[in-house]
Amino acid sequence: MIIRLLGPLELTGPNGAVQLSSAGQRTLVARLALNPGETVPRSALVDALWSDEAPATATKTLHSLLARLRGQIRDAGLGELITTREPGYVLNAPADTVDAARFEALVAAARHSDEPLKSAKMLREALSLWTGDPLADCRPGEWTRQESARLTDLRMDATEELMECSLALGEHAAVAPLVNALVEQHPFRERLWEQLMIALYRCGRQAESLGAFHRARGVLVDELGIEPGPRLRDLEQAVLTADPRLDLPERTPVPVRGNLPADRSSFVDRPETDHVADLIRRHRLVTLIGVGGVGKTRLALHVARGEQPPDGVWLVELAALRDRALVPHAVAEAMGVVDQTGRGQLSVLTEFLAAKDALLVLDNCEHVVDHCAVLVDTLLRVAPNLRVIATSRRALRVYGEQVMSIAPLSVPYPAATLFAQRADAAIPGSFVITAANEQAVTDLCRRLDGIPLAIEMAALRVRALTPAQLLERLDDRFRVLTDGGRTALPQHQTLLATMEWSYDLCSPREQLLWARASVFAGSFDLAAAESVCSDDALTADFMFDAVDGLVDKSVLQREEHAGVARYRLLETMRQFGQTRLRAGDDEPRLKRRHRDWYAGVAVQGERAWFTPRQVATVAAMSTERGNLRAALEYSLTTPGEAEAGLRLAAALWFYWVGCGRFAEGRHWLNWALSLETEPSRARCKTLWVNGYLATLQGNTSAVPALLEACRAEALVLGDEDADVFATYVQGAAAVFDDDLPLGATLLAEADRRHAELGHMDSNVVMARVALAITVAFGGELDRAADICTKARAVCEEHGELWARAFALYVLAFVAMGRGDVVEARELALTSLRIKEKFNDLLGIAVSVELLALISVITGSASHAAMLLGGADRVWQSVGLPLFGSANFAASHDQCVALCRQALGPEGYDEHFARGAAMTVTSVVAAAQS
C-alpha cells in the first residue's frame, strides 16, 4: 500500500489505485494519513472539510463520504483500512506507507545524525518523495492551507540542510549553482544566501561571494525594508578578510558501524536471548543451530543489535550463495571491502580485519559449512578482537566454537504472544488474545511445536478463520500426513506439515510459482518471474496474480530497489519449493531458463554501459549478483553448458572492470576457460577480457599468454573483433610496463581498426584515452589534449561516464603539464566524483594522486601529504601502486619531493600516516576539500 500526499494525492492497494473522485474524499484521506495509526476526532475531519463554515448536515455528509470511501478502499484490496475508534476514525497503516510521514521521519533522522554523508543520503531520499505541491487537490480551506504551508516549509528546511551537508562534504562546486537558483526562488531566506557565499568562496570566487552578499542586502532592504541579519553581516567580514574559519575543516573520518538491517517486525523475547548475548561477550565464536524456521536468524540479529564494537556489526547472508569458493567474496562484499588485486579474498580479509574490533553474523552457513569453517578459523586466528555469530543447521567444528541449540518457543508463552502479534499485523487492530480464544491459540501453538515460522504462517490465516477453525483444519492436515497415527511430530516434520498445509491453501498457479521461484538466488522482479516461471500452466498474464497471492500469504517477501518491486523466498520456503520442483522433472528446464534470462540481463547491461543508463546499470548488476552467480555456476557445472558460461562471464566484462570486481571476474573467467578449450568466438572474448582484468590488476606477466592465445584463435576463426580488442589490451599492458613506443603503436593500431570495423563503446574510448596518456608521457601535450577532447565529446554524446572520467583525468594531467593548475583541479575533481559513483578504486587512486600534486603546488603541503597517504591506502586494494610504471610514478615522485621539502621528513611522515589510516570514502572526501 502507498499513500502519496507530497504531490497529486494517491492511494494505491493490491488491486490498483483507489479512484478518489471528489476533493472531499481526498481531504479525508489526507487528514487521516497525516496521523496514521492515531484517532482523528470527527470534529477535526469536519474542520478539514469545511473550516469554520460547516453546514448543518456536516456530520451526516461526513458519514456518507466515509462510507463511499471505505467501499472503494475495500474494492482496492485494502480491507478495513479506515475504522471507527471513538471519538473519531483511524487509518490503519504503517507510517512508512505514507510519503509525508516517511519524509518527516527521514528529515528528523538526518538532523540527529552527526555524519554529513549519512545525513545527506537521508535528506536526498526524503526530498525525492516530492512530486508536486502538497494537498493541492484537496478541498481548499484553513486546514489545507496551514498543512500545505507547514509541509512546504519543511521541504525548504530539508533542502537547506542538504546544502549544509554538501558543503561539509566539500561539494561546494556543485552547491554553488544549486543555491544560486534557490535564492532566485526564495530571496528572503538568509540561510541560502549564507550557503551561496560560502560555496563561492570555497570555489576561489571571493569577489562573487561578496557580490552575493550585496545582492542579498539589496533584496532585503528594497523588498522588506530590513538589513541583513548578524550572521550574514559577519560572513561578509569573514570573506573580506579571508578568515581561515571559512575553509573546509579537515573531517575526522567516521567509520561505518555495520550493515544490520532495521527490524521490520517486533521481536518476541525468548529465554535463550540473554544466554546467547552472554556467550558472544565471553567467547569469540557462537554457532546457533536448529531446524529451519526455529528463529536462529532473528535471534542472532537481535543479539547482534545489542552489541556495539568500535568497528561495527556486519551481516553476511549466505543463503543465495551457490559457489562455495565465493564465501570470502561474500564477506568482503558485505563489509564494503573492495580489493582489485590478484590476491585471494581470504588474504584480503585477514589483512583488513587483523586490527579490527568487529562482530560478524554469518547467516545460513549449512550449505557452505566447510568453507565457512576455514574462513572463520583463519579470521579468528589473525584478528584477536573479531567475534562471530553463525547460524547453521550444523556446527562449524572450529576450535573454540560455542554451539547453542535453539529450541522452539515455549507454549503457551511466548509462542502465543508471537501468534497474537503476527495475527494483529495481518489486519491491524483485528486480533487480541481473549478468554474465548486463548485455549485455541495455545493448542494451535502446541500443535505447531512452538516453531516460530510455522506459527507466523498460521497466524496469517486469521484473516479468514478463527484460531479454533485453524486448529481443526491443521489437525486434519497432520492426520493426512501421518496416516492418522501422529502423537507428536518431530520438529522438522511439523514445519514440513505446516508448509504442506500452506501449500495446499494456495491456488494451483501459486503452487507452481512457489516451486519454480526456488531457482532464483536472492530476489527477483516480476519480469524475471514471467520469463523464467511461465508456461501454459502458469501464463505470464496470470503471473502478477500469483505473485500477489504469495505475497499476501507471506510466502514471498516484497522488497523495493530503485523504485522497482522485487520478491524473495525465505530460505526455508525456498528449500520447500525446491523439493516440490524436484519432485517432478521440471528443475533442469527451469534452471536453464533462469540462466538464459540472466544471460540476457548481462547482455542488456553490456549494451546499456555505453548509454546514460550506465550508473543505473551498476546498481542493477549489484542487485542481481546472486542470480548472475547462480547462472554462471549452472553453466560451469552442467555438462554441455560451458560455452554458455564463457559467453556470460565475458559479457559481464563491464561489471568486472567498471565496478571493480577484478578478482571475482578472473575467478569465473579462469574457470570457464579451463572447461572450454576448443576455439570459439566466446572463448576469444573471454581470453581478452581476462587479459584486460590481469592488466588492470598490474599482473602484466599473465597477459601475454592470454592475448597470444586470443589472437591465434581469432586468426583461425576470422574474429577481427576479438583481435582488435586484444590489440588494445596488449597496448595498455605495454604502457604499464613503460614500453611507450610499443604501447603507442599498438594503441594507434587498435584505434584505427576500431574505426574501420565500426566499433564504438567504452573500450574503444578507453583505447583512445590510453593512447592519449601514452603520447602525453612522451611530451606531446597538444596531441594528447586533442585525442581526449574528442573522446570526451563522444562520451558526452552517448551519456557515458566511466570512460569519460579517465579522459578527464588525462586532460587534467595535460593541464598540469601546461601549468594551468585551476583547470587541472576542476578536471581531476570531476573525474574523481564520477569514479566514486562506480567505486572504481583505480580511477580514484590516480585522481587523488594528481590532486595531491595540485595541493602541494598551490601551497598546501600538509594536505598533499595526507592525500598521498590516502592514495597509498587505495593502491593497496588495487594492485601495484601506479602500475609499477616509472611514467605514472613521475608526478607522484615530484609530489613527494615537494612535500618533504616543505614539511621535513617527520612532518611528511606524520601527514602521510594520517591519510593512510583513512577509509576510501574519507580519502575521496578529503581530496575534494
Helix (H) or strand (E) holding 875: helix 861-875
What 8-state DSSP symbol labels residue 98?
A: B
The total of other beta-carbon atoms located within 10 Å of residue 202's CB is 21
Which is higher by pLDDT, 77 or 608?
Answer: 608
Provide CB contacts within 8 A for 596, sequence distance 6+: none
- What does pLDDT average to over the chain? 88
Q: Give me the pLDDT at residue 765, please.
A: 95
Q: Give me the pLDDT at residue 253, please.
A: 44
Least confident residue range of 455-469, 683-697, 814-828 = 455-469
Residue 751 CA to residue 764 CA, distance in Å, equals: 7
pLDDT at 660 over 80: no
3-state SS, 153-214, equals HHHHHHHHHHHHHHHHCCCHHHHHHHHHHHHHHCCCCHHHHHHHHHHHHHCCCHHHHHHHHH
pLDDT at 523 over 80: yes
Q: Give me the pLDDT at residue 830, please.
A: 93
Residue 100 CA to residue 425 CA, distance in Å, equals: 22
pLDDT digits (tens, 9 = 90+) for 122-137: 888 888 788 788 888 8
The stretch 545-565 carries a mean pLDDT of 86
pLDDT digits (tens, 9 = 90+) for 785-810: 999 999 999 999 999 999 999 999 99
Q: Among 374-378, 885-889, 923-927, which range has the highest average pLDDT? A: 374-378
pLDDT digits (tens, 9 = 90+) for 863-917: 999 999 999 988 887 766 777 778 888 989 999 999 999 999 999 999 999 998 8
Residue 336 CA to residue 361 CA, distance in Å, equals: 15
- Coil/strand/helix, residue 563: coil
Q: Give me the pLDDT at residue 254, please.
A: 43
pLDDT at 574 over 80: yes
Give the alpha-carbon dihedral of 753, 758, 760, 763, to 10 degrees: -30
Q: Give me the pLDDT at residue 252, please.
A: 45
Residue ranges of alpha helices (H) inside 758-820 are 762-777, 781-798, 802-817
Confidence of residue 491 (pLDDT cuts 50, 70, 90): low
pLDDT at 121 over 60: yes
pLDDT digits (tens, 9 = 90+) for 60-72: 888 888 888 888 8
Least confident residue range of 114-128, 143-157, 365-379, 737-751 = 114-128
Which is higher by pLDDT, 145 or 269?
Answer: 145
Q: Give me the pLDDT at residue 484, please.
A: 39
pTM comes to: 0.66
Q: Which of 331, 320, 324, 396 is nearest to 360 (CA)?
A: 331
Residue 825 CA to residue 809 CA, distance in Å, equals: 10
